[in-house]
Structure 1
Amino acid sequence: MEKLHRPRFNAMQTLTLGFAVIILVGGLLLSLPFATKSSIPLPFLDALFTATSATCVTGLALYDTFTTFTWFGQAVMLCLIQIGGLGFMTVSILVAFLLGKRIGLHQRSILMDAVGSLSLAGVVHLTRMALICTGVIEGVGTVLLAFWFVPQFGLWQGLWHSLFHAVSAYCNAGFDLMGIVSAGSSLTTVYDQVYLNLVIMALIIAGGLGFLVWNDLLSNRFAWKNLRLHSKIVLSATGILLLGGTVAFYLLEYNQAFAGYGLGTQWLMAAFQSVSPRTAGFNTVDLNTLSPAGMLLTLVLMFIGADSASTGGGLKVNTIAILLLSTVAQLRRKRDITIFHRRLDLDSLNKAYSTAMLYSLCCILGTMVLTLNGYSLVDSLFEAISAMGTVGLTLGITPSLPLASKLAVMAMMFIGRVGSVSVAMAMTNDKPQPKIRYLKEQILIG
């Protein structure tokens, strides 16, 4: 009798289906009566939207988290945020570690995509480091935030707020419990709290750097010359975006959205606005008060996002860096793309262009769907890029999204978290490379 073999999904299909299952379970839990303070179950589509936003660490919300959800509902959201930030495969490996189970070759190949390992060798070590770093950073963040939240809201409420915001900030999720002060306010009521703002910004940046970069930094004791090329590109690009974004926001908004505030507060708001759009989703200023130039800068930062294999989303800073380096090399008529005395391989460049093309197409299609439902081009574009970049910022249209727009935003959040290329590859089977290669021929470009 012929032995039946279980169908084995490839790495991309496993990751995609895993996220889908987590979202479905989260949606079912959030639709339970005791998940909401009113004891009236959320419509399943709304619960599924919330679960998608939490698992995809986006932060776009139909309801205010604190005023709508009970402790149970908030705890479910926190678990979804943590799983989504780490990646469900990383969490499953944590369970395997705790149970003392062996990590097989197939699991290792999936982990390569989940944690951003550049090779199969050492992927389990990188996963272990990612889990340890996450626990330490979120733990330290919780303690630091407790110094602010506990005096404000009491011991237990303050500790819960500290944990929730530490995990949400590190995972670049953007969900908050500041509805205890004013529903739907995000951090606009604490825009001038220097300590709170700095801690949250530090957590956002830490989560956005990526597990590979943290492993590289710790393994080399922060010695710049010994870091991988990937880490050097990410750290350099992140520094430029943070510093440049802060200065740009101050110059663009000091007499617009930041008008009427003190100089120190204006710089603090500018710094926060530079950090948060790169997939975090918190805001300390009303986005509708931004100047057109400030709005455009926010869109650009949301589009770029954080690092690959980080808790953040977006097109990714390393992808943008490669595209810019390729453009510069072309303009200078250079044959190779070089940086930090290293030459980039052609596969990295091809992947960067493919990712940028698919990502941009999804943003365009999502914007079109939203405009067809009656929203302005600016509102639609902002919402689409925020969803694709798993940012969570909105100009206020999220709670009023009709059915088609909700489905479109959910799809963009999912694609943005899993990865446009990963989702596309999950829809196809692995095929062997053809043995025959056709003749090359040039075409006109530009």
Structure 2
Amino acid sequence: MARKKKKFLIRFTPPQILALGILTIILIGSVLLSLPAATVSGRPLAFLNAFFTATSAATVTGLTVVNTGAEFSLFGQLVILALVQVGGLGFMTMATLIALVLRKKISLRERLLLQEAMNQSSVEGIVRLIRKVLTYALIIELTGAVLFAIRWSFDMPLGKAIYFGVFHSISIFNNAGFDLFGSIPDSKGSLMEYVHDPFINLVAIALIVLGGIGFIVMVDLLDYKETRRLSLHSKVVLSATGLLILLGSIVIFIFEFTNPNTLQPLSFTSKLYASFFQSATTRSAGVNTIDIESMRQATQFFIIILMFIGAAPGSAGGGIKITTFAILVGAVYAMSRGREEIVFFRKRLAKDRLYKATTLTLLALFLIIIGTMALSVLERAPFLIIMFEITSAFGTAGMSLGLTSELSVPGKMLMAVLMFIGRLGPLTLAYALTPKGGKELYRYPEGKITIG
């Protein structure tokens, strides 16, 4: 039986196995969430709604068609939480954890799968990296849960505060955006009740950033005391993340400063908290402290750009990834200065990095354009709202302007597909659907095309 299973798996490439793994997790989650025990009412949830919720959880998106806190029972919420955890860390990472617990040997093929899942260039030290990832993730989630529980114990019974702390720490760290505040009467939803609270803001932002920079960078930072150096990848991710959060905070602060439905009623300090929080969360986390629907259209369009960029490779976030964006900006800078090479921190990048970044960006743009056109046909809503929802699904950002909960059956299916592609990555999906190509044995003569 084991040999047959191995032979069956050998037929598939690592990207194909990753795609099948995520799809399997989604289907299992859909079945569990459609059980009567998963809802507060005891009535089975419509399978499409269960499938949409499972897809949103497994792809750590956070878009919902039903109220998570009010509609799902404790069993349903725990299923969602398990899907978020597996989806955030990656099913191959969780499978490795089980193998390590059972003291099973990690085969070369499994190491190749882990290499693909973690966006590593080599299998060397991959199992050691997974051990560190699991340890650090658990410590961060536990710390976040304790801090949240302490704060919320002043607002609710201790048992509920602990549960809320665990749920939201895992959800926010994995950039999923699911929240339980819909179960509290008169609650505004998400973390909007805590827009003035510096403690909740800082803890949540720390979890968002740590979950969004990627495990590779996290390991690099924690090993800095020993190594006394950071990799080029870590330097680019950290600097680009800092710059984007700062830029986003400034733009949101300026655009929303006089908006009576968002920042205007807040104190100056709360305005700063809210601007900083929304800038950090929009690239993938999905929680918010001010009403996204009430923002000005200019701000909403700016958020679309941030969601499209997304988080770092090897993280729980989506989008084209911040390193892709950095490479494209680097290429524009190099070309405008008459240089032929992209240089970051005195290191030049190979040209294949630019080809990959350009390909990924164009594929993502095509998907969003096609998805926006399709949803415009299926749903009656303003164009900006439709583009916002599509970008949020592809970028696994979980932000919504209210359309997702009102989607038709075809609209839900389209959004579920985009969430799946967004989590897997357009390039990985393309590799999964494309047969293995051999090395070209010849080169064509060079030609020239006029540009500009």
Given the alignment of the two structures, is residue 402 of structure 1 paired with residue 408 of structure 2, yes or no? yes
Answer yes or no: is the 8 Å Cα contact 1:67–1:183 preserved in 2. Answer: no
Retained in 1: the 8 A contact 2:187–2:193? no
What displacement does 1:332 show?
A: 1.1
Task: Identify the match of residue 197 of structure 1 among 201, 209, 213.
Answer: 201
Q: CA deviation at 1:8?
A: 2.4
The letter for the 2-side match of 1:358 is L
One-letter amino acid of the counterpart of residue 48, structure 1 = F
TM-score (norm 2): 0.95
The secondary structure found in structure 1 opposite 2:154 is helix
Q: Which residue number in structure 1 is paired with residue 265 of structure 2?
A: 260
Residue 151 of structure 1: how far off its partner (Å): 2.6
Write the distance in 2 (CA, Å) between the matches of 1:41 and 1:369.
Answer: 30
- Residue 282 (structure 1) aligned with residue 287 (structure 2): yes
Distance 1:30 1:184 in 2: 25
2:143 is aligned with 1:152: no
Counterpart among 169, 172, 176 of residue 173 in structure 1? 176
CA distance in 2, matches of 1:310, 1:177: 24
CA positional deviation for 1:196: 1.0
Does 1:381 pair with 2:387? yes
Deviation by residue 1:284-340 (Cα, 9 ceiling, x = unmatched) = 111122122211221111111110110111111110000010111111110111110
Provide the rounded CA distance (Å) in 2 between the counterparts of 1:216 and 1:187: 31
How far the C-alpha of 1:183 sits from its partner, in A, is 6.1
Partner SS state of residue 435, structure 2: coil
Deviation at 1:378, TM superposition (A): 0.7
Query: Is this contact kept in 1: 2:301–2:384, CA < 8 A?
Result: no
Correspondence 1:246-395 to 2 at 5 A: 246-256=249-259, 257-373=262-378, 374-395=380-401
Q: Which amino acid aligns with 2:411?
A: S
For the pair 1:89 / 2:100, whether they are aligned, the reply is: no
Aligned AA (2:213): L
Alpha-carbon contact 1:116-1:211 (below 8 Å) kept: no
Contact 1:302 1:314 in 2 (8 A): yes
The answer to whether the 8 Å contact 1:64/1:184 transfers is no
CA distance in 1, matches of 2:87, 2:451: 40
Query: Structure 1, unaligned stretches of length 5 or more?
Result: none
Amino acid at match of 1:136: I
CA-atom RMSD in angstroms? 1.5
Q: What pairs up with 1:233-248 in 2 under 5 angstroms?
A: 233-248=236-251
Once the two structures are superposed, residues 179-215 of structure 1 have per-residue CA deviations (whole angstroms, 9 ceiling, x without a partner) of 1324672122222122112111110100001011111
TM-score when scaled to structure 1? 0.97
Q: Which moved more, 1:189-198 or 1:63-72?
A: 189-198
- 1:125-140 → structure 2 map (5 Å cutoff): 125-140=128-143
- The amino acid across from 1:386 in the alignment is S
Structure 2 CA distance, aligned partners of 1:240 and 1:163? 30
Q: Tell me the amino acid that sits aligned with residue 242 of structure 1.
A: I
The number of residues matched between the two structures is: 443
Residues in 2 aligned to 1:184 and 1:396: alpha-carbon distance in whole angstroms: 14
Structure 1 residue 207 and structure 2 residue 196: aligned? Answer: no
Are 1:115 and 1:126, in contact at CA under 8 Å, matched by a contact in 2?
no
Measured after TM superposition, the shift of residue 127 of structure 1 is 1.1
Asked whether the 8 Å contact 1:338–1:344 carries over to 2, the reply is yes
